[in-house]
Amino acid sequence: MAKPRVLITDHGFPTLDHEKRILAAAGADLVVAQCKAPEEVLAAARDADALLVQWAPVNAAVIAALTRCKVIVRYGIGVDNVDLAAAKAKGIAVANVPDYGVREVAEHAVALGLALARQLPQIDRRLRGGTWKITPDRPMPAMHDATFATAGFGRIARAAHEMMRGFGGQRIAYDPYVTKEAMAAAGVAKVELDQLFASADILSLHLPLSPETRHFVSAARLTQMKPTAIVVNTARGPLVDTVALAAALQAGTIAGAGIDVYEQEPLEKNHPLLACAGALLTSHVAWYSESSIPRLQQLAAEEVVRGLRGEPLKNQVNK
């Protein structure tokens, strides 16, 4: 009987030692490609029994051409580059790896929010420009008087709330799929959308991307926020209308934005956010630590093995 064939469509990892070890122990052959276009994926993946995908597009045409595939596993949380409906219609399970960098992303979100709340980027630039001043240029609410808010209350949001608990202040969250009792057990008050935007001093986004959540932070929603408020996005880029966000920062509608993910990546060189003094921008690095990469690779490979064996997947997203 032929060995199962597992294709890595693309990757940016230093080594594939974890995948090689885990898949070899499962009796599978590993094939590695660096596909960018759907046609390249189709040519490499046609007879694969499983796919490990980082950024390569696995669209409906690719899925229609797959002859043996049982499972597709995305390296990471988002699955925007995989056509979930087409895979489900063909009986192919799709899974992500949502738990490889929970602490890292939460830490990054909290760090962005705190840095902006304390106006560290602005004060640093002011000092380097030759101005010594012991008070900030804008109002700076104390953290123990502030409201930390999350849109979403999943793994990462809960970790962020736990990190913020020591600062005091109020903690609130919006998530239609989580009960107020579950939030209350973590010391968090459940709120609706209008209250979320109106009350937040730091609003950190932790939502999946869907047609309903695209531009969750819109021009209209930004006008509901306090002029001292800060928006943080370490989740999915299109959750924020970044052009509207830049306009709100320039107008002083809100005070700051900490952004790690963007509607288009890399961020365009002429994007208006780059001209905003209140924006603290990072390059999709929130997930990273020295331990998160090997953890991601190991968990993804283990999920592939479960799929090949017909065992229940830990994180199937197209049931």
Handedness of CA 209, 213, 216, 218 (dihedral sign): positive
The residue annotated as part of the active site, out of 5, 46, 214, 284, is 284
Is residue 236 part of the annotated active site? The answer reads yes
Helix axes 292-309, 17-25, angle to 10 degrees: 20
Selecting among 39, 265, 268, 311, the annotated active-site residue is: 265
Spot the catalytic one: 74, 221, 236, 271.
236
Chain-centroid distance of CA 283 in Å reads 12
For this structure, is 18 an active site residue?
no
Active site residues: 236, 265, 284
